[in-house]
Structures are given as structure tokens and as C-alpha cells.
Structure 1
Amino acid sequence: MHDLNFRPKAFLFDLNGTMINDMEYHTLAWYSIMTEDLGAKLDYQSVKKEMYGKNHEVLARVFGKDRFTTEEIERLSIDKEKRYQQGYMPHLALINGLDQFLKRAKNANIPMAIGSAAIPFNIDFVVDGLEIRHYLSAIVSADDVEMSKPDPETFLKAATALNIPPADCLVFEDAPKGVESALNAGMPCIVLTTTHTIEEFEGYPNILTYIEDYNDAKLNTLF
């Protein structure tokens, strides 16, 4: 689409790979658990392909839905998030330019929300660690939805929380499943090329443009 004449009334952000560039650390944590702890015969790239949705969905895709008990899934999920946070903590930072972008949106009275498949434990780790909670009017986490992306529930709930029609919301995403979720919600999207190549987003008609970070001058047209 590459059309930046759109004037959004709200910004909806995915978190991982979109506000922070941390997907490598999620993948490393899962890779460690799956291959070292659970004995899966997977390479790094195979694990990376499964990095979407809730933790129990990731485990079900890789090992089958009946492999683990509810208690085992909870334990593995917590262990994974602790490994992720330990690995990423020294590198915790907003993607370049996002701090100024958030300030500009706040000054322009454009409401903002996070719509993420992350659990509150990880969202709080980022939002409070980077002191950005005051910019956000709503947060929709994995615990707030029945269906993960690419289902539109995450972004539709964020729009409802902001009291903004879905068509007036602009989504920032880094993953094809997230772009598909925005498409299913009837929302245009800007893609961060932190995690996937532009070629991996072929066929999504709701993409306005691609950016490497929030210093991109194309974003000036949104205000």
C-alpha cells in the first residue's frame, strides 16, 4: 500500500520486536528449553519460526497439544520468561527514535496502547523498566484474550479500550502474524523490519510502509 496520507486517531503497538528489539532473546530462551531441557531436534531458525502467540501455543505447535500438563506448561513458561529477562536485561532499550515518537504522540493527544501476546510479567518488565507507562492509555496482554494473533481480538480490544474505531487506529508490528491480526481487525499497519524481511510480508494489503526505526522521516506525515 505504502500510503501515508492516513491520519490515525490512535497508535497501537505490538511490544516485542516493535517497541524493543528483543526477539533474539526470546528465541534463545525457547531454543535452550526446547533443545537442552526437552530434547527437541530443532535448529535455531526452526525455533524462530514458532515465535508467535501464547507460550502454551508455542509448546503445542512444537511438541503436540497433549504433551504437557497444565502445571508443566506453566512451569516451562515461567522458566522461559526468566531466561529471556536475564538475557535481555543488559540490553533493555526502546527502539531508536521511539522515545521521541511517544512524546510527540502524547503532545498531539493521540492515545496509545500496547496489544501484545506477551504475558503481564514481561510487559511490566519492559514498560516499568523503561518508564513508559505514562504514555499508554491501555495494555492488552496474552491474559486478556481468548484468541492470539492472527485473530483480531488483541487489537480490537485495544481499540475498544481507547474508545477509537478500529479503522482509525494505526498498528505498529514486526511480524507477519501481527500484520495479519491488524488486517483482520480492519486496521492499517506500519512494519518494523527488526525481525523479518520485507519479503516475508508479501501479500498484506494493509501495510502502509516499512521502517527500520522510529527516526524514519516518513512518520512525520502521521501528525
Structure 2
Amino acid sequence: MDGVLIDNTRYQAKAFQLLFRELGLQTNALNLLKRLNGMPATNILKTVYRNPVPEKELKTYADRREFLYRVLYWNKRQEVAGLSNFLQAARAAGFKIALGTGSAPETIGYIIDHLNLRRFFDVVVGKADVDRGKPHADTFSEAAKQLGIPPDRCVVFEDAVLGEQAAYKAKMRCICLSTSISSSKFQTPMHVMKDFTQLTPARVLELLEQNPYTPKPGKHISERDYAKL
């Protein structure tokens, strides 16, 4: 959802930065999100502290960050260019569409119901539906299961390095958006784009045929400690 349906990373980073200021932490939130975007907020917070912090405390901080984010983003909510037209065309072409996100139900509604996007999705899988968030495969695997589509016929749209890794762990190919990071940061997506204005369902099928094999997750990313949270 974040960075794919909406271009909101700078607002997420600003909310984290305000939280860090309250907590007396010196971490650069934008740089942090460039590496860890897509992970649950509590796991992102775990990487900031040198010593373990109780889960209940992390949840309190994550809720505080969520409140700050919603205030900052309240009047800025808008879809990535071309999104509704692409989703409408994909449904007309017979595609099944799922939303897979690490967000909680109320956060999902804050975006997709406000923007009237829920009508495009056959399935919505969020934080409440899986045990482990990205970079683990659970979110995308559960979405494919609910759609009834085998992983090798699924395409994941991602804006984050760890989200791309989650796609490959789920045995799916990936199209990436450069809304949050530069295209050079991704591993091996089928295609990188800035928005949906130049993409069609027919082009997605072409990319699937041109890229018949799913890449293996990158060891340089998956072996890092934060990728195991």
C-alpha cells in the first residue's frame, strides 16, 4: 500500500523523526526507511535501540508514530498517478487483485476507503492476517492463497527493498516503483516505473513471459539481522 498505492514515504519518515525526537533518539528516519520500509513499525523501532525494548513499549511507540503520521498526511492523501485507471483496466482484463500490506486494518481503511480503492481488490491482507510481516513471504503467500492463484502467476508491486525480497521468498516476480528509493537499489525486478501511467495489463503479461523465472532472494540482504525480525 505505502509507496505503491500512495506516495507517502516522506510523511512516514517525518512521523518517525518526530517520534525519535520525543524519545531522544538521533537516527535519521528517512535513511532508515530507505532500508527498512515495508517492515512493521515495531520491527523498525527494534533496529534503532541497542538494547531490547519490551514489546508493549514498542507497540506504544508505534501507535504514537501512527498518530503523528495520520495528522501529517491527513490532507495529502492521494493515489499514485494512473493507479485507478490501471486497476480498473486490470479488473476488466480478468486479473484478480490483492492488496498485501504490513498495516493494521484501521490504517488500511484510512487510505483505501478514503480514496475509494477497496472496490478494486478481491482480497486485502494486512498485519492482522499473518504472523510475520515483510521481508518474510507470509503477506504475499496468504494473498495468493486467498485469490486461488499459484505464486508463479502472481506479480507483486513494491517500492521497498525488503518488499521485493518478500516477493522472491514467496516465489513471485516483482515490478517496482521508484517512489521511495532509486531504481538502482532494487535487486532484479521485471520493470521499474515511477507511477502507473505507462503500464497496462497487457504489458504485465508481456513482462511475465519475458521473465519466466523468479529470482532468488539476495543473500546480501536476507542475511542481515534486521531482515530476520
The TM tier, using the shorter chain, reads 0.7 to 0.9
Once the two structures are superposed, the pairs formed by residues 10-25 of structure 1 within 5 Å of their partners are 15-25=1-11
* Aligned mates of 2:204, 2:26 — CA distance in 1: 46
Once the two structures are superposed, the pairs formed by residues 10-159 of structure 1 within 5 Å of their partners are 15-34=1-20, 36-48=21-33, 49-64=35-50, 66-67=52-53, 69-159=54-144
* Aligned mates of 1:188, 1:116 — CA distance in 2: 17
Aligned length: 204
Find the counterpart in structure 1 of residue 225 from structure 2: none
* Aligned mates of 2:160, 2:93 — CA distance in 1: 27
Find the counterpart in structure 1 of residue 195 from structure 2: 213
TM-score, normalisation: structure 1:
0.85
Structure 1 residues without counterparts, runs of 5 or longer? 1-14
Is the 8 Å Cα contact of residues 52 and 58 (structure 1) preserved in structure 2? no
Which contiguous aligned blocks of 4+ residues in structure 1 show a shift greater than 3 angstroms?
44-47, 49-52, 217-220
CA RMSD of the aligned region, Å? 1.7
Q: Which amino acid aligns with 1:191?
A: C
* Aligned mates of 1:51, 1:180 — CA distance in 2: 12
TM-score, normalisation: structure 2:
0.83
Q: Secondary structure at the match of 1:106?
A: helix
Give the C-alpha shift of residue 44 in structure 1: 4.0
Per mean C-alpha deviation after superposition, the further-off stretch among 89-98 and 107-116 is 107-116
Give the C-alpha shift of residue 217 in structure 1: 4.5
CA-to-aligned-CA distance 1:203-223 (integer Å, 9 cap, x gap):
x3xx11111110114654236
C-alpha distance 114-166 of structure 1, shift in aligned 2 (>3 A): same
Q: Which has the higher contact order (CA 8 A, sep 6+)?
A: 1
